[in-house]
Amino acid sequence: MDDGTLPADLVAGLDVQRATPVSGGDIAHAYRLETPDGPLFAKTHPTPSPGMFEREAAGLRALREHTPAELGVPEVLRESCRGLVLEWVDEGSMPSGRTEVALGAALAHLHGAGSRTGRTHYGGLEGDADGATHGYLGSGAVDLTPTQDWPEFYLHRRLEPLVIRAAGEGRLDPAAIGILSELEPRAAELCGPISHPALLHGDLWAGNRLVDTDGRNWLIDPACFWGHPEVDLAMMQLFGGFGPECLDAYQDVSPLADGWRDRVAWYQLAPLLVHAILFGGGYGAAALRALSRYR
């Protein structure tokens, strides 16, 4: 099959009989592939950012390695610089109290991967200090250069470049640059305590969580890195879509440190800044308000 869209090297040998466009995000083109062995999911981009699909594939594999069996992560069947082929997931009902409890407990287990493996560095996925040095949050490039200092990583690898870029592109009041600099001496306090790096999904809004026809949770479209567990939890609260049972179940497995509620806006800054850069609108003002509350 050659429809002029799917890269030939990505689907060679799969005997694709039909490719039907499906929803799959704002960045890539997504398809359901019909094959003799059942449906598959493909996502492609004609001009992807360097390493975009490779980083996603690495994130999916890391999640599959460390998630408990009750939490699904699609298997990467094919990858290239222009796309991925993954196992197909049949979406089912809306999340329920049962699925929320299961997700919260499984997410706490996932975040505990750093403790179980003895991970010491924040940032790139690989297990050594020379891990990956770049990744993406949405289509926005982010620095994953590893460090053993979480406040340094979050302030200088994540927030500072995004604030400078957003201000430079006119999506954020330039005053934010000075506010962030003013907060730098308090970075450790603002970031809160952490015992081990957590393996993070990295972009955990409700659209990146599926519930299949059997009621099993699945995680898709990760922007994985090793960081503070409250990053994922703050993202989950930014746009909604997760029930209170999820956080309760998480805390039953892994209680959050004192003051975590005060850090939610701090850890929502990165996705707000990325949204300001990509979409404009009121995201820049929301990011400035979140930053200003910590002065």
The 10s digit of each residue's pLDDT in 21-33 is: 998 656 789 999 9
Q: Is the pLDDT of residue 4 over 70?
A: no
pLDDT at 101: 98
Q: Is the dihedral of CA 238, 243, 247, 248 positive or negative?
A: positive
Active site residue 15: no
State the CB neighbour count (10 A cutoff) for residue 54: 16
Phi, psi of 278 (to 5 degrees): -80, -35
Start-end of CATH 3.30.200.20 domains in the chain: 1-88
| Chain region(s) in the chain for CATH 3.90.1200.10 | 91-295
Are the C-beta atoms of residues 284 and 276 closer than 8 Å to each other? yes
For residue 295, the SS3 value is: coil
- Which pLDDT does position 93 carry in this prediction? 77
Higher pLDDT, 129 or 248: 248
Calculate the average pLDDT of the chain. Answer: 93
Does pLDDT of 2 surpass 60? no
pTM for the model stands at: 0.94
Catalytic residue among 173, 203, 214, 252: 203
Report the distance separating Cα 136 and Cα 134, nearest Å.
7
pLDDT at position 131 is 55
Kindly list the strands in the beta sheet with 29-35, ordered across the sheet, starting from the edge strand earlier in the chain. 18-22, 29-35, 38-44, 83-87, 76-80
* CA neighbours closer than 13 Å in the CB half-sphere of residue 183: 25
Burial 134-169 (b: 16+ CB within 10 A, else e): ebbbbbbbbbbbbbeebbebbbbbbbbebbbbbbee
CA distances from 169 to 141, 172, 232, 276, 280 (A): 15, 8, 27, 10, 10
Rounded to a whole number of angstroms, the CA Rg of the chain reads: 19
Q: pLDDT for 143-172, tens place per residue?
A: 999 999 999 999 999 999 999 999 999 999
| Cα 238 from Cα 18, distance rounded (Å) | 38
DSSP 260-294: GGGGHHHHHHHHHHHHHHHH-TTHHHHHHHHHHTT
Query: In whole angstroms, how far apart are CA 259 and each of 102, 150, 151, 233?
Result: 25, 17, 16, 14
Tell which CATH classification among 3.30.200.20, 3.40.50.300, 3.40.1160.10, 3.40.50.720 matches the domain 1-88.
3.30.200.20
Residues 68-107 have pLDDT tens digits of 999 999 999 999 999 999 999 999 978 889 999 999 999 9
Q: Is 62 a residue whose pLDDT tops 90?
A: yes
Per CATH, the architecture of 91-295 is what? Alpha-Beta Complex (3.90)
Residue 3 confidence (pLDDT) above 50? no
Instruction: Compare 26 and 192 and report the one with higher pLDDT.
Output: 192
pLDDT(282) > 90: yes
